[in-house]
């Protein structure tokens, strides 16, 4: 299984500290949903929380559909 070149630690820290702004989505190459998350403040925090859990569980994928390496 091919893994993304994006860092797991960087993605999780960006999501934890700046998740409401969608910065972690910009980092992994998901610009469209990053903009939506920025405009909705992370879905009022719910979307950011879901992303955080997905990153921790290892099911979060980058813009090319590759899993973030842990």
Q: What pTM was computed for the model? A: 0.92
Residue 31 structural domain: 12-61
- Dihedral sign for Cα 13, 15, 16, 18, please: positive
Strand intervals (E) in 1-70: 3-7, 67-69
With respect to residue 30, please indicate whether it lies within any of the assigned structural domains: yes
Q: Are 64 and 4 a contacting pair, CB within 8 Å?
A: yes
Residue 68 is assigned to a structural domain of this protein: no
Residue 8 has pLDDT above 80, yes or no: yes
pLDDT tens digits, 20-70: 999 999 999 999 999 999 999 988 999 999 999 999 999 999 999 999 987
How sure is the predictor about 1, in pLDDT bands with cuts at 50, 70 and 90?
A: confident
Residue 3 lies in a domain: no
């Amino acid at each position: 299984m091919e893994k993304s070149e994006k860092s797991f630690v960087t993605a999780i820290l960006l999501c934890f500290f700046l998740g409401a702004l969608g910065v972690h989505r910009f980092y992994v190459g998901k610009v469209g949903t990053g903009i939506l998350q920025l405009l909705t403040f992370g879905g009022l925090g719910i979307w950011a929380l879901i992303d955080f859990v997905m990153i921790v569980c290892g099911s979060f994928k980058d813009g090319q559909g590759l899993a973030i390496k842990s």
